[in-house]
Chains A and B, each alone.
Chain A
């Protein structure tokens, strides 16, 4: 215990050594050591080997597919997620609490279940897909299908990030704005939206990060055609099935690096928002 004495403040509560030690040991065993093994394996290829594997045209195409579809899905989610959060917080209508609870469904529904269900709906003979087929559109088995799966899994991140902030915004600010002669549109676009901006950006980043790594709900609807509708996580699985472990590790390392940058950006947005608006989302 004396070893910890230097870096922690004294307290009458017992159990710091036990709980802190267990936390660190469990975290190291389950998360840290395996992640280090991943980075070491891709580093084992050497500088040139790593970049040769990372810049392989099929790898680049799959990363592009993942990032472009995730970006579009997160963009759509920001628009509709903000609207849904607004409607749920500001308006009273029958079934509001049920819809509010349903927002979390994509968190609770296993991704494989969502994947086959979305495919059944958007396939050319599905309930929505057949109408699209009549118009000559294909949704399932194209990047559009990937985007739809990513919209499904990302929506709650946006709604649940914006909702609490919107609940806390007091009506007085809007009243003040109206008193000073702003019309409703000006109040919303110049007063409300700027104060929601950090939450919207955080929601966007969270939905985007989740969509980039998503596997289960995407692979059924994607069609998985190399260079067209093959996402990066699927290419990792394919590399593993080819016993190209180092190749899989390289793609994973690139994706990890990007998601850590995303995590860093999210933390920056929240720190900035705390400084500017006095809350973190």
Chain B
């Protein structure tokens, strides 16, 4: 920023001289290239290092395939549940005035400020062998920890706020006028929701679902703690990446990682497309995460 002191040579008083502008652009872009672009490039170049044949072979391994299946299964359960929650929470918060509303809104964001490892740990403490529930669950042969239900719970925890934090500001901006009109014309509550509210919020909802899904499929820390990492049974894609990596199967690790990187890039493209095309119909706040 010190370069900006060369203000004497500038043409306009509210602009920096050309060379300062280019210098700042280059420094900013180099920083981004080094810290953000390079890692993604590295994933694909490491994955394809031994050729496209080996790449597909590593993806067709039974371990990799079962990890992909489990990741899809977890996302298919966790994302819809958080969508239902997000819609319900934003309906309650945006359409009504009640005491403690601001506090409830803050609470919804809580999982973002909790370390992913802690998000997994809480379920280990709740359902683990030393807990109150642990022995009771075991007597009924219900497996939550080191099984799919635990992975789903941990995933729901970390992706909890995504849909709600996108929909709440959007529905607050839109107000209740449309719904009041529909109700006064004789629509029922459900009709109002499906025919009036949902079309109004559909792009914002899709935006929230995109971010929620990306995190659900990519979550590592929380899932690592509850999964037990049983090969072929409780390893999601990110966990299988770690397993391959620790076993020095570098190509297999990066091949599976490249699928996740692809998911991230597709998410980013769709998200950006939504912002460019339907920017007005998305919430002004809540970008990020």
Contacts and interface: CB of A to CB of B under 8 A. Distances in A.
Interface stretch (B58-66, B135-143, B256-264): B256-264
Contacts of B185: none
A152 B36 contact: yes
Contacts of A41: 125, 131
In this complex, the member of A91, A97, A157 whose beta carbon has the largest number of chain B beta carbons within 10 angstroms is A91
Contact of A8 (B46, B99, B265): B99
B20 to A, nearest CB: 9
B4 interface: yes
B189 A19 contact: no
A216 B220 contact: yes
In this complex, the member of A99, A164, A187, A260 whose beta carbon has the largest number of chain B beta carbons within 10 angstroms is A99
Nearest to A255: B115
A26 B114 CA distance: 18
Contact of A23 (B5, B46, B104, B121): B104
A23 B97 CA distance: 15
Given A9-B96, A84-B31, A106-B36, A112 B220 contact: yes
A162 B126 CA distance: 39
A102 B32 contact: yes
B160 A31 contact: yes
B198 interface: no
Nearest to A176: B14
A37 B217 CA distance: 26
Given A31-B160, A108-B267, A19 B35 contact: no
- In terms of DSSP, what is the predominant structure of the interface of chain B? helix
B98 A111 contact: no
A35 B16 CA distance: 51
Contacts of B125: 34, 37-38, 41, 245, 248-249
B52 interface: no
Interface of A: 4, 7-9, 11-16, 18-20, 22-23, 26-27, 30-31, 33-35, 37-38, 41, 80, 83-84, 86-88, 91, 93, 97, 99, 101-114, 116-118, 120-121, 126-128, 148, 151-152, 155-157, 160-161, 164, 171, 174-175, 178-179, 183-185, 187-188, 209, 212-216, 220, 233-234, 236-237, 240, 245, 248-249, 252, 255-256, 259-260, 262-263, 267
7 contacts: A15-B92, A31-B107, A84-B28, A101-B268, A107-B289, A157-B288, A185-B4
